[in-house]
């Protein structure tokens, strides 16, 4: 049955692709339900990871999973996440209750240590774990109702079902599902790990600093280690030079608080790039597969809730996915708008314009729930383009591309086209169309 380098048992009931928090929670939950499970993580365990600031909800979730004792030393021994100092909306650094989490206290952990401990524990629970074989992909199911799972290196095996826990993009199951991953933006992150005692003490908590082309955050991992992350949009990176290290350094030029916190510390290892977009699968399960964690829905790192959501989603792997996913994502986008709206300093910057929807004439926030719907369904709309960055505050690049491809069509056809490309509530789409008309990106045919 199995070919390649995969060892016995030859058949697994389920393969979980991706060994982050969601994949581990899903694998152990399935194992406890009596299934033979393999967890296939592409990277060696020591590979750098993002997501070091854990909210306090992580503990009860790990307790529910039964994994708290396995990771407790790495979590409780880590610096406490008690406050956020942020230059967000103004140049000065202000101590705030928390932009990240209203409850405040959590931990800034070394994710490599925590995820490694979780992986070892997962193995102890009877899950067959493989790491470091590169990316695994599910291939089309056969008549015997099994799915082939293969790695780039040549290994393959047949399993009853696949859980995609590969994070943003849900790349593990793209060949076995009919729905595409919907990226709502093009956000990326550059991460550098800094070591040394520094010119001044790093101080506690997370420092968040808005930047003309994104934002920075730094967090302490121990007395002499800090993680620094620059978040921006992928298409804005070339303006910062060539290569991650140059871009990272150049972006620091406009981030005085971050620079001060890193002063006297040295970069340990390479600057690493990560996907950071908000996005989702419009349908998170299908015949023989389902997605959990970021693979089902990913949000802005600003929220600091990715690990919590990943664990929750992995623990619920046996439950039917929520039918309200589009609504949840829509609510999340509204929350995100409220956070980005607090930073008005760079209205012309593409990064900020894409995240701060505003009425083009009045320069006021639009609340799509209260804006009057005035567009008749049979009004004929024409795409004029080019889409200015602010258009993406309302509609994803995929939805805007669908409107552009449509060229000219009735408003109701436009709504349908947007919903096929990136489902959203009809009201939200109509308000977005009204805004595109007001901005001159679309026009109404007389």
Residues near ligand FAD, by CB under 6 A:
17-23, 40-43, 50-54, 135-137, 165-167, 171-172, 189, 229, 274, 276, 293-295, 301, 304-308, 310
Q: Which is nearer to ligand FAD, 104 or 360 (CB)?
A: 104
* Spatial CA neighbour of 207 closest among 84, 88, 52, 340: 84
Helix 111-124 with 68-76: angle, nearest 10 deg: 170
Residues 289 and 4 sit within 8 Å (Cβ to Cβ):
no
Question: CB of 316: closest distance to ligand FAD in angstroms?
Answer: 13
Q: Which is nearer to ligand FAD, 16 or 35 (CB)?
A: 16
Q: In whole angstroms, what is the distance from residue 165 CA to residue 303 CA?
A: 20
* Residues sharing a CB contact under 8 Å with residue 77, sequence separation 6 or more, in sequence order: none
Question: CB of 352: closest distance to ligand FAD in angstroms?
Answer: 18
- Which pair of tokens denotes residue 272? 């690493």
Q: Which is nearer to ligand FAD, 233 or 387 (CB)?
A: 233
Question: CB of 155: closest distance to ligand FAD in angstroms?
Answer: 12
Question: CB of 293: closest distance to ligand FAD in angstroms?
Answer: 2
Q: Which is nearer to ligand FAD, 18 or 383 (CB)?
A: 18
With b for 16 or more beta-carbon neighbours within 10 A and e for fewer, the 292-304 pattern comes to: bbbbbbbbbbbbb
Question: CB of 143: closest distance to ligand FAD in angstroms?
Answer: 25
Q: Which is nearer to ligand FAD, 148 or 294 (CB)?
A: 294
Token pair 């959203």: residue: 424
Q: Which is nearer to ligand FAD, 97 or 377 (CB)?
A: 97
Q: In whole angstroms, what is the distance from residue 258 CA to residue 350 CA?
A: 22
The string of DSSP codes covering 265-301 is -EEEEEEEEEE---EE-SS-EETTEEE-GGGTEE--G
Task: Sheet with 279-280: list strands edge to edge.
Answer: 182-183, 279-280, 297-298
Q: Which is nearer to ligand FAD, 279 or 436 (CB)?
A: 279
Q: Phi and psi (nearest 5°) for 367? A: -105, 110
Q: Which is nearer to ligand FAD, 72 or 135 (CB)?
A: 135
Question: CB of 443: closest distance to ligand FAD in angstroms?
Answer: 38
Question: CB of 396: closest distance to ligand FAD in angstroms?
Answer: 18
Q: In whole angstroms, what is the distance from residue 67 CA to residue 131 CA?
A: 20
* Spatial CA neighbour of 17 closest among 148, 126, 141, 154: 148
Q: How many residues does the chain have?
A: 446
Angle, CA 317 vertex, CA 312 and CA 321 arms, to 5°: 90
* Dihedral sign of CA atoms 355, 357, 361, 362 in order: negative
Question: CB of 237: closest distance to ligand FAD in angstroms?
Answer: 14
Question: CB of 203: closest distance to ligand FAD in angstroms?
Answer: 17
Q: Which is nearer to ligand FAD, 309 or 428 (CB)?
A: 309
Task: Identify whether 9 is preceded by a cis peptide bond (ω within 30 of 0).
Answer: yes
């Amino acid at each position: 049955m199995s070919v390649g380098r995969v060892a016995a048992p030859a058949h697994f009931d389920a393969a979980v692709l991706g060994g982050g928090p969601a994949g581990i929670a899903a694998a152990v939950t399935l194992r406890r339900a009596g299934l033979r499970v393999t967890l296939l993580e592409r990277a060696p365990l020591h590979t750098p990871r993002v997501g070091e600031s854990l909210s306090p909800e992580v503990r009860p979730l790990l307790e529910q999973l039964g994994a708290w004792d396995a990771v407790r030393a790495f979590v409780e021994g880590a610096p406490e996440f008690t406050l956020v100092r942020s230059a967000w909306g103004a140049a000065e650094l202000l101590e705030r209750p928390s932009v990240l989490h209203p409850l405040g206290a959590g931990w800034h952990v070394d994710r490599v240590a925590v995820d490694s401990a979780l992986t070892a524990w997962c193995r102890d629970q009877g899950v067959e774990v493989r790491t470091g074989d590169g990316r695994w992909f599910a291939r089309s199911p056969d008549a015997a109702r099994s799915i082939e799972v293969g790695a780039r290196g040549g290994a393959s095996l047949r399993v009853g079902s696949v859980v995609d826990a590969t994070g943003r993009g849900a790349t593990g199951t793209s060949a076995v599902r009919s729905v595409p991953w919907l990226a709502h933006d093009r956000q990326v992150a550059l991460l550098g790990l800094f070591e040394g005692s520094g010119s001044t003490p790093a101080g506690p908590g997370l420092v968040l600093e808005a930047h003309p082309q994104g934002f920075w955050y730094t967090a302490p991992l121990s007395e002499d280690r800090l993680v620094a992350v620059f978040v921006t949009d992928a298409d804005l990176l070339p303006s910062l030079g060539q290569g991650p290290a140059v871009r990272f350094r150049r972006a620091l030029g406009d981030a005085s608080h971050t620079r001060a916190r890193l002063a006297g510390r040295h970069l340990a290892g390479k600057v690493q790039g990560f996907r950071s977009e908000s996005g989702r699968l419009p349908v998170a399960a299908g015949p023989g597969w389902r997605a959990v964690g970021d693979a089902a829905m990913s949000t802005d790192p600003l929220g600091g809730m990715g690990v919590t959501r990943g664990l929750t989603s992995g623990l619920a792997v046996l439950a039917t996915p929520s039918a309200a996913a589009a609504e949840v994502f829509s609510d999340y986008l509204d929350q995100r708008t409220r956070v980005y709206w607090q930073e008005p300093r760079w209205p012309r910057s593409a990064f900020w314009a894409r995240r701060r929807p505003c009425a083009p004439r009045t320069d006021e926030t639009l609340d799509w729930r209260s804006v009057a719907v005035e567009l008749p369904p049979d009004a004929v709309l024409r795409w004029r383009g080019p889409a200015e960055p602010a258009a993406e505050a309302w509609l994803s690049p995929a939805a805007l591309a669908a409107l552009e491809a449509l060229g000219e069509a009735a408003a109701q056809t436009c709504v349908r086209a947007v919903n096929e490309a990136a489902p959203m509530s009809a009201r939200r789409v109509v308000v977005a169309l009204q805004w595109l008309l007001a901005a001159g990106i679309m026009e109404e045919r007389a």
